Amino acid sequence: TPVIDVQGAYRIYETAAGFTPALRGVSLSVARGEFLAIMGPSGSGKSTLMNILGCLDKPTTGFYRLEGLEVSELSDDDLATVRSTRLGFVFQSFNLLPRTTVLRNVMLPLIYSDVPVRDRELRAWRALRSVGLPEEHYLHHSNELSGGQMQRVAIARALVNDPALVLADEPTGNLDTTTGEMVMGTFRRLQRRGKTIVVITHDAEVAAWADRTVHIRDGRLLSDEEERAYLARL
Ligand code: ADP
Ligand code: ADP
């Protein structure tokens, strides 16, 4: 079973001004251990697709199966459970608690898990080691770290529940090129250890770290070849 299996998904927003079809027949399959990049210009539907993949929103029509579980028909409560147990999120703005230690930040998602309290610190420790953050920082407040270190803490937090899928939305958007490469290198190493990773970016050099890139234009997905053909026609 693929980790992500989206078939014929439409997402149509209804506003006072009318209907906006943000996704128009998206199908996407991502296997376990794959590292996928999704690229697209502003307004193309990236956030809409990410919200669906992240179980924050559901397709208007079509289906989304996550590890074989049909999530497009779950209640909001069940979606929240899926988010906290099967998914890890990484954001452009890191979203760490500033005056809280690195270790506590990484332990946060475990509050909602069934991991026994006595094991939580060890879990967080392991997640931090897996992203290569030196131990000397684990008891520092997160706001004492550099941007690249903060993003690695955020990746560790995303990993601590051992999710099926890590979703990263513009994870290098607030980082300089060198630091951004370091963060992408971290994802790459996680992927080599079998993690399934989806990164949204508008930067082709960032996307180049992935195994495969799909492009989104006007709510439709294009492969690399289709994107090249599209650009050649302009
Ligand atoms: P991107 O993330 O690539 O910038 P979005 O997914 O945010 O694209 O938006 C895709 C389209 O859907 C745009 O036309 C946008 O204006 C529209 N859209 C996004 N969110 C909403 C919403 N909550 N209500 C109405 N229209 C929306
Ligand atoms: P960006 O960093 O790309 O600017 P944000 O980090 O502000 O975006 O987050 C994007 C969206 O995800 C927001 O609507 C936010 O409420 C939501 N969000 C933030 N943290 C989590 C989380 N841990 N789980 C689920 N949704 C989250």
Mean predicted lDDT score pLDDT of the chain: 95
Give the distance (Å) from ligand 2 centre to CA of residue 197.
Answer: 17
Q: Fill in the DSSP letter of residue 115.
A: S
How close is the Cα of 15 to the center of ligand 1, in Å? 11
Q: Which residue's CA is the closest to the ligand 2 atom numbered 5?
A: 91
- 96 C-alpha vs ligand 2 centroid, how far in Å? 11
Cβ–ligand 1 contact at 75 (below 6 Å): no
CA distances from 146 to 149, 152, 170, 189 (A): 5, 10, 18, 21
CA distance 218 to 189: 32
Strand partners, 18: 15
Q: What is the mean pLDDT of residues 47-52?
A: 96
Give pLDDT tens digits for 133-173. Answer: 999 999 999 999 999 999 999 999 999 999 999 999 999 99
**Total-model pTM:** 0.88
Task: Identify the nearest ligand to the CA of 24 by its number.
Answer: 1
90-123 residue pLDDT tens: 999 999 999 999 999 999 999 888 899 899 999 9
Q: What is the pLDDT of residue 234?
A: 82
Q: What is the pLDDT of residue 46?
A: 95
